[in-house]
Amino acid sequence: MKGSGVWIIAMVIIVGMMFFSCAGQQPENLGVQNKQLADCPSKPNCVSSQAADEDHFTAPLTYQGDKIAAIKHLKNVLGSFENATIVLEKDNYLHVEFKSAVMGFVDDLEFYFPGEKIIHLRSASRLGYSDFGVNAKRVNQLRERFSGK
């Protein structure tokens, strides 16, 4: 009996770690390479304004005025999402992590500011196959808040 009790405790710990450790590793392909964000994988848990296929394509954000004001406005909009954390900011790039409240799944949302009054974006889940449209819905909510509609 003592041996089986140890196994039960070990299994509870392992399952607990799996259940609450759904963040995954930060992908190595994040960032801008040759004026492009990374391509979406074939999985349906990614959207990008630079995607060539319509299953993953979402329109870029557009803005009037200067880039610095647009970045400031975007950061304010991101602040209206309670589960968003800006993890990297450069002159023409912003990386944001969104963490789900229950399971702790992490999605990476990237913004690229090429200087043409547009903001390219890519939003992808780190783990799993389908995200049930979460990334696309989030991008649409962000678009509405950014445009003030």
Interatomic CA distance for residues 22 and 55, integer angstroms? 25
Q: What are the structure tokens assigned to 86, written together? A: 């800006």
Locate the domains of the chain by residue range: 2-147
Which helix or strand (DSSP H or E) is residue 110 part of? strand 106-112
Q: Is the pLDDT of residue 104 over 70?
A: yes
pLDDT of residue 15: 46
Torsion of CA 139, 143, 144, 148, to 10 degrees: 150
How crowded is residue 37: how many other Cβ atoms within 10 Å of its Cβ? Answer: 22
Interatomic CA distance for residues 80 and 145, integer angstroms? 9
Placement of tokens 């790039």 in the chain: 93
pLDDT-derived band at 148 (thresholds 50, 70, 90) equals confident
The predicted model scores a pTM of: 0.82
pLDDT of residue 7: 65
Placement of tokens 């808040």 in the chain: 145
pLDDT of residue 5: 65
Q: Is 136 helix (H, G, I), strand (E, B) or coil?
A: helix
Interatomic CA distance for residues 60 and 92, integer angstroms? 14
Encode pLDDT of 33-53 as tens digits: 999 999 999 999 999 999 999
Which CATH superfamily, name and number, covers 2-147? Kinase associated domain 1, KA1 (3.30.310.80)
